[in-house]
Amino acid sequence: MKILVCISHVPDTTSKINFTDGDTKFDTNGVQFVINPNDEFGLTRAMWFKEKQGASVAVANVGGPETEPTLRKALAIGADEAIRINADAKDGFAVAKELANVIKERGFDLVIAGRESIDYNGGMVPGMIAALTDANFVNKCIGLEIDGTNAKAVREIDGGKETVSTSLPLVVGGQKGLVEESDLRIPNMRGIMMARQKPLTVVESAGANAETTSVKFEKPAPKGAVTLVSPDNIGELVNLLHNEAKVI
């Protein structure tokens, strides 16, 4: 089984978000970049398929040379090879189209991409890849078993979950639940050393166009001070929620 894990290069979850150039650009100054958490759950599940079922695992990212350390980290975690598609990640559609081109060219049985990146939160790349490559698709996947060409997946639905059966080729939108938080791997020294020897191929962009553009960013308005209520006067909290906030 050939698996591709799509890796988005995103600001660490603790990052403070700021903008420059008249609020038109994300300020990367002082920001630490990591593998998108939703992708990391997928990568860790892929490692399981590699170790238990002999799958090969490639990782791919659409971005400039500055994203290579993130791909190297995925290699250090255990992926066999990395592909960097040398293009700006202009929008979700362009990213999906670039990835779909590589998938069609190289042929993967299973593609795992995070259900959304934690920067733009578009939530469209996995579904668009599935549509562009004519593969089956399960979004918000929280459990995945593969047997031959058959797949059993668990999908999160609002208020519960749903188990589905499908077949390869398959694209899943991954998230926590594919593996547990405690299953995530921190690359060890041996993994880091081995990652240096593994192939990282740069593929030229297919020139995918964007369909959307972020024209301006805005930070949420600063919050007013909290209204403190004494623990001896909880009736007042009920009163405020009813009369002032009007939420109960």
Residues 9-38 that bind other proteins (CB under 8 A): 11, 13-14, 17, 19, 37-38
Q: Is there binding between residue 128 and other proteins (CB under 8 A)?
A: yes
Q: How far is the CB of 192 from other proteins (least distance, A)?
A: 24
Task: Specify whether the CB–CB gap between 12 and 34 falls below 8 A.
Answer: yes
Q: How far is the CB of 11 from other proteins (least distance, A)?
A: 7
Distance CA 134, CA 101 (A): 12
Can you tell me which of 63, 78, 126, 174 binds other proteins, judged by CB under 8 A?
126
Among residues 82, 124, 144, 146, which is the contact residue for other proteins, using CB under 8 A?
Answer: 124
Residue from 65, 105, 165, 197 binding other proteins (CB under 8 A): 165
Interaction with other proteins in 43-82: which residues (CB under 8 A)?
A: none
Contact 97, 208 (CB under 8 A): yes
Q: Which of 50, 86, 127, 187 binds other proteins (CB under 8 A)?
A: 127
Which residue has tokens 């790349």? 125
Task: Give the shortest CB-107-to-other proteins separation in angstroms.
Answer: 18
Nearest residue to 208 (alpha-carbon basis) of 125, 115, 152: 125
Rounded Cα gap, residues 226 and 204, in angstroms: 52
Instruction: Give the burial class of 60: count Cβ atoms within 10 A of its Cβ; 0-12 exposed, 13-18 middle, 19 or more buried.
Output: buried
Closest CA to 113 of 33, 8, 200: 8
- Alpha-carbon dihedral 234, 237, 239, 242, rounded to 10 degrees: -140
- Asked if 64 and 86 count as a contact pair (C-beta separation under 8 A), the reply is yes
Q: Is 241 in the site for other proteins (CB under 8 A)?
A: yes
**Site for other proteins, residues 210 to 229, rule: CB under 8 A:** 210-220, 223-224, 226-229
Q: Is 143 in the site for other proteins (CB under 8 A)?
A: no
Tokens representing residue 82 in the block:
């990395």
Span interacting with other proteins, options 56-64, 72-80, 81-89, 169-177, rule CB under 8 A: 169-177
Among 30, 65, 148, 235, binds other proteins (CB under 8 A): 235
**Residue recorded with tokens 């990391």:** 40
Pick the piece of the chain touching other proteins (CB under 8 A) from 53-61, 71-79, 164-172, 196-204.
164-172
CA distance 148 to 144: 13
Task: Scan residues 102-121 and list those touching other proteins (CB under 8 A).
Answer: 118-121
Residue closer to other proteins (CB basis): 189 or 221 = 221
**C-beta of 201 vs 227, nearer to other proteins:** 227
Stretch in the footprint of other proteins (CB under 8 A) among 1-9, 50-58, 87-95, 199-207: 87-95
For residues 83 and 201, the answer to whether their CB atoms sit within 8 Å is: yes
> Tokens at residue 209, please?
């166009």
**Residue 154 CB, nearest distance to other proteins (Å)?**
9
